[in-house]
Amino acid sequence: MHKIVFANGQELTASWFEESAEFYDNAQRRVLIVRVPKDAMGLDALDALLSDSENVAKIKNTHEESGAEGVYDHYEIKMELAVRAMPVGVDEDGAETTEEQIVFKLGRLTEQERQSRVILAALAAAGIPVPGAGEGVE
């Protein structure tokens, strides 16, 4: 099991936590794939947690059995949030058994995306309008 702690202090216990790579939204990016029990949190509450970039700006994962820890930053792109039947073992007849779990994927911002945010924030702080940035065109 994995203990996941989000930047806002919210904790989840996950049965699966994996970092991989995937091409998404025109970029090759690092991706976190996490599975939690279906009753760990309501989907709406989890959706709200994952949708707030401040909450997912830094995520800490602790593997409870080994004590190994990892900190993952900038995984701010919610790629997937769903309930799925996931394999959890094999029954006495050798057939795969499944259990409904919540699965979510978070994509890491690329270096270019992170730098663009820094530049846009600096321009906004200086009061310089940027056409096409933010919620509307200035």
Q: Per residue in 48-88, pLDDT tens?
A: 999 999 999 999 999 999 999 999 999 999 999 999 998 88
Residue for token pair 């930053």: 73
Same domain, 64 and 32: yes
Same domain, 39 and 70: yes
Same domain, 127 and 60: no
pLDDT digits (tens, 9 = 90+) for 53-62: 999 999 999 9
Same domain, 101 and 79: yes
Question: How far apart are alpha carbons 61 and 13 in whole angstroms?
Answer: 10
Q: Model pTM?
A: 0.81
Per the structure, the complete domain to which residue 60 belongs is given by 2-107
CA distances from 42 to 13, 61, 72, 89, 113 (A): 14, 21, 23, 25, 30
Same domain, 45 and 64: yes
Question: What total of structural domains would you count in the chain?
Answer: 2
Q: How confident is the model at residue 128 (pLDDT cuts 50, 70, 90)?
A: confident
